[in-house]
Structure 1
Amino acid sequence: MRRGAPLLAAALALALPTASPAGEPAPPRTGAQVSGPPADADAAAAYFTDTELIDQDGRPRRFYTDLLRGRKVLIHFVFTSCKGACPTMTANLARVQALLGKRAGKEIAILTITVDPVNDTPKVLKQFAAKFNAGDGWRFLTGTPQNVEKVLGRLGGLTKKPEEHTSTLLIGDTKTGMWLKTTATERPETIVHLVDHINDAP
């Protein structure tokens, strides 16, 4: 049976995490499955939308078509002036990127989305990315406050104050519609394992 956009939207609205302060209890360390069976591509596009974001190189990116479609993705939320968890999470994902090797940027994308789009311009994000040796396929994303808010709302990353952003790491396979959530400070080896086994039967 073909799954439509309303069904996918309802499933993800229930499944993806709501924003919570970084100090709250972390999700299960082994990763928690948060979506159902594979979803229709049109439904996924309708849910995630092609809202325009801007990457660290100043290039516009359509959220679903350019960043999600047809690949596995890791998504987390930061703001560059953060003095707490953000540098730790991003450094940890740099180690994940190294473990993924040449797969990063091809079949697997890493997306870092700011929760402070007013201050985190592409130039600021580019400098932030350089601190962590972000390679090909790792996009640091900003945009208009309205567009960023829309995307964060779809992903459960929306927050009233940047410092209250969630430390969740979302791992998804947009070919199958399977999603997991863990923390962005999970062991890099565990994160790579989750990426590789996201579609395994529970």
Structure 2
Amino acid sequence: MRRAAPLLAAALALALPCASPAAEPVPDRTRARIGGSPARDDAAAAAYFTDTELIDQDGRARRFYTDLLRGRKVLIHFAFTSCKGACPTMAANLARVQALLGKRAGKEVAILTITVDPVNDTPKVLKRFAAKFSAGDGWRFLTGTPDNVEKVLGRLGGLTKKPDEHTSTLLIGDVTTGMWLKTVATERPETIVQLVDHINDKP
């Protein structure tokens, strides 16, 4: 289990600038897995991701691993509501992904948008932003104290000094199996759903 956290950190770390979506290359979709039994996988994942408290757009406190990740497939990306670059495009794209997932969104697959500007992106602000993209119950927009958000972003490779320098990475994971891969949040919605469905396929 001690090797699990460094492995996952290496798999999730990526620094893509918040630039024009059309100009961004698609990262290598390298799969990484936390090895071991399901029980050890869960313990290693819980230790790595932590139960740091974040707040969703409805003002509800959420433990990051236990409430948002455990036992499901997840799509995770980074954004902020006043972004004038790729953020609205990424959110609109994930709205199409949500539509393609249908009833699976929120039950089998969770979509998590984590702000990189927690000081300004309060739950109320995030709720208005979520409404623009018809976000359903399975799509959580997350903020929290700057320290807590920074801790989670650091675990996911999304930490940045300035909000407009955040990455356009989309992390796709099956937390039950421990399989993770990464692409960009502007990837074709059909391709994202295909990656979700086949994340556990052998390469």
- TM-score by length of structure 2 reads 0.93
Q: Is the 8 A contact 1:38 1:178 kept in 2?
A: no
User: Gaps spanning 5+ residues in structure 1: where?
Assistant: none
- Counterpart of 1:109 in structure 2 is 110
Which residue, out of 14, 17, 22, partners 1:21?
A: 17
Q: Is the 8 A contact 2:7 2:34 kept in 1?
A: no
**CA apart distance, 1:34:** 3.8
Q: Is the 8 A contact 1:172 1:198 kept in 2?
A: yes
Q: Is the 8 A contact 1:113 1:140 kept in 2?
A: yes
Aligned letter for 1:173? Answer: D
Q: Is the 8 A contact 1:53 1:147 kept in 2?
A: yes
Query: Which residues in structure 2 correspond to 1:3-14 (within 5 Å)?
Result: 4=1, 6-14=2-10
* Structure 1 runs, 4 residues or longer, greater than 3 Å off: none
Aligned letter for 1:153? Answer: G
Asked if 1:44 is matched to 2:45, the reply is yes
Q: Is the 8 A contact 1:32 1:180 kept in 2?
A: yes
Number of residues paired by the alignment?
Answer: 196
Partner SS, residue 59 of structure 2: coil
Partner SS, residue 33 of structure 1: coil
Q: Is the 8 A contact 2:4 2:35 kept in 1?
A: no
Q: Is the 8 A contact 1:76 1:113 kept in 2?
A: yes
**CA apart distance, 1:33:** 2.3
Measured on the aligned residues, the alpha-carbon RMSD in Å equals 1.3
- Counterpart of 2:58 in structure 1 is 57
Which residue, out of 12, 15, 32, partners 1:35?
A: 32
- Counterpart of 1:200 in structure 2 is 201
Name the % identity.
80
- TM-score by length of structure 1 reads 0.93
Q: Is the 8 A contact 1:19 1:158 kept in 2?
A: no
**CA apart distance, 1:25:** 4.5
1:74-93 alpha-carbon deviations (Å, 9 max, x no partner): 00000000011000000000
Mapped partners of 1:130, 1:37: distance in 2: 35
